[in-house]
Chains A and B, each alone.
Chain A
Amino acid sequence: MRVYHFSEHPYPPAWADPKAYLRVNLPNRAIDPKIAADLFHRYYDEYLLADELGLDLMLNEHHQTATCMNATAVVGLSVLARTTKRARILVLGYPIGHRPDPLRCAEELSTIDVISRGRLDMGFVKGVPYEFAASNANPVGVMDRFWEAHDFIIKAMTSHDGPFNWEGEFFHYRQVNVWPRPWQQPHPPVWSTTASKTNARVLGERGAVIAVLGSGYNTRALYDAYRAGYASTHNGAVPGPDRFAYLALFATAHNEQEARRRGELVADYLRTGSRVYPPFKNPPGYLSVDDNVRLMRGQTPERSFTKDGRVIDMRTGSVQDLIDSVLMLCGTPDQIYRQIADFVEYTGGLGNLLIMAQAGHLNHADTVDQLTLMAKEVMPRLKELKQPVAAESAAA
């Protein structure tokens, strides 16, 4: 099992006023570039440590927000491609439904793959709702743009015989010939995220790595939809554990009490989730008409489930709720191992664990300690963990 270390590069000094909206419209006078620089350096130091410890690395981008200073993932990918030695470098995600120029995306990602000598994982996402206000991309039809951008990027990375033509619904180029071409052949692995079974099936049909977050003990349904889609386009084959990823918040320590303390700090990340000016939370066309009707009637979709079927609100749940729903792995290394093993068994196979080992106000010393404990006391045991076989569920 691969374990990816993830941080959103938060700027928690700006979180202090509980009434402030943290995304889209928080004036940037609230960020001090000198403090930001110190934080960036610190977060990159943690990535370098994770690289040395044997973890893989994940980063993402969000826009106009104090929860994530990475406004462009390419900058972070570039830093990591040159300064790390061995880790896979996953961007999850790269919001290609928002980007006006997928040729530029193909060039950026190919270059990063070459500089890292083939360590890039390309996670493409449509972006969270409030990104549309920042990018001004039309939320209506974003998935159509997403797939055209995806198809274009893959074609650009896999065409090696001179310029080709692309005059699609959204993007127009006449002489496409990307230099450098990517290191990995035929192209760096494609990942994507989803919370819907319909999209999970599409990802399965295309064979991309499916990453989910926040679903807890509803994850199996998404993975099984993926398996059904995968089987439909791969002669009935069962996708291996390497096609599945799950993101959880992460807090460990030598004793449980300290782990819980760190869990509280890390959970702040989820608790900032609701701090968005309401109009930006649901741009038109982002949700289906049916989903909007349910929202207007005051019904919010249930998303996170515990093993016994209890629904958890990730923005208000206690650390225990988050543990019960596997939104957070939390405890001593022994407890962490058991939580992972239990969850892997439930999912029917899970080859990529994405841990948010730094989030919220968790400081450098705690983050270093967590990563070290994970690498030295949990990961050796995960190497021995036998993946379940999900063959029986593939037809689900």
Chain B
Amino acid sequence: MLTGQNSLAPLLINGIAIECVEKGAGRPLLFLHPEIGLDPDSPVLDRLAERARVIAPSHPGFGGSEQPRSFNNIDDLAYFYLDLLDERNLTDVTLVGVSIGAWIAAEMAVKSTARLSHLVLANAVGIKPGDRETRDIADIFAITEPELNGLAYSDPKSAARDYKAMAEAELRLIARNREATARYAWSPYMHNPKLKTRLHRIRIPTLLLWGADDRMVPESYGQAYCLAIPGARFETIAHAGHFPHLEKPEEFARKVFTFVEGQSK
């Protein structure tokens, strides 16, 4: 994972040191990874980089990126990435996020779409569509890893990892990602109670993309998300679960570009 051809380069935004993959040319595409972190050699980055200038950072606190003392909710990350867009003077950005990354993207878009052209939210979390006694999102901290993989992947076997065979550096990333996820999303669990009523502010073309076999966050959740964003489209990816960018990278990239190119301003 760590020794492939895509390299994580250091990036300083607003005084915070993070790691970032930058690849490809063309219109900028900011890719925001889910709670399991960013694999720099993930094939989806190469597929996306075939038709865009991909900027894929590791969120503050995740992977090898610095954890600022004051960062403890998703808003902090949303403002951080709005700063990134400003500091790099990026415009006409396609913003793509998966799960928690999609939550960050939605929080950015309700604040400002000035530098964004399109928004793609894949298997997004961040809202609370159900009533107070409905567990909309599986409690990932209350189940074992095999149970979680069974919910999150179309093919759970593909997610099995042998920790004892992994390098210490890689294990550190996994441990940091788990801790950072809890830091940002422990309570309210995986959502911001205010977000749903703010989604109407998103006035750019938006695609809700859903791995159809996601049992961690069901498709009905994605449809509720879609309904709250004016004009948003909803599409599924078959044979993919909560992380469609990993299980179906080609189709993921294809759907992103079909949407972006079909809906250009």
Contact = CB atoms under 8 A, between A and B. Distances in A.
A292 B171 CA distance: 8
Contacts of A285: 179, 182-183
B261 interface: no
B182 A284 contact: yes
Contacts of A136: 186-187
Interface stretch (B45-53, B139-147, B232-240, B246-254): B139-147
Given A138-B183, A138-B187, A298-B164, A289 B172 contact: yes
Interface stretch (A191-199, A206-214, A224-232, A275-283): A275-283
Contact of B179 (A133, A277, A279, A289): A289
- Scoring B178, B179, B183 by chain A CB atoms within 10 A of each residue's CB, the highest score goes to B179
A138 B141 contact: no
Contacts of B179: 140, 284-285, 289, 292
A277 B142 CA distance: 9
Interface string A124-166: 0000000001001111110000000000000000000000000
A289 B173 CA distance: 9
B176 interface: yes
A284 B181 contact: yes
Contact of A292 (B72, B164, B175): B175
Contacts of A278: 144
Contacts of B166: 296
Contact of A284 (B143, B164, B178): B178
A284 B141 contact: yes
B137 interface: no
A285 B183 CA distance: 8
B144 A279 contact: yes
Interface in A239-297: 277-280, 283-285, 289, 292-293, 296-297
A141 B182 CA distance: 10
What is the predominant secondary structure among interface residues of chain B facing chain A? helix
Nearest to B145: A279
B65 to A, nearest CB: 13
Q: How large is the interface on A (under 10, 10 to 19, 20 to 34, 35 or more residues)?
A: 20 to 34
B168 interface: yes
Nearest to B177: A284
A297 B164 contact: yes
A289 B176 contact: yes
- Scoring B176, B181, B186 by chain A CB atoms within 10 A of each residue's CB, the highest score goes to B186
B174 interface: yes
B26 to A, nearest CB: 37
A154 B187 CA distance: 27
Given A284-B181, A297-B163, A279 B142 contact: yes
Given A140-B186, A141-B72, A280-B142, 17 more contacts: A139-B186, A277-B142, A279-B141, A283-B141, A283-B182, A285-B179, A289-B176, A292-B171, A293-B168, A293-B171, A293-B175, A296-B164, A296-B171, A296-B175, A297-B163, A297-B164, A298-B164
Interface of B: 72, 141-144, 163-164, 166, 168, 171-172, 174-176, 178-179, 181-183, 186-187
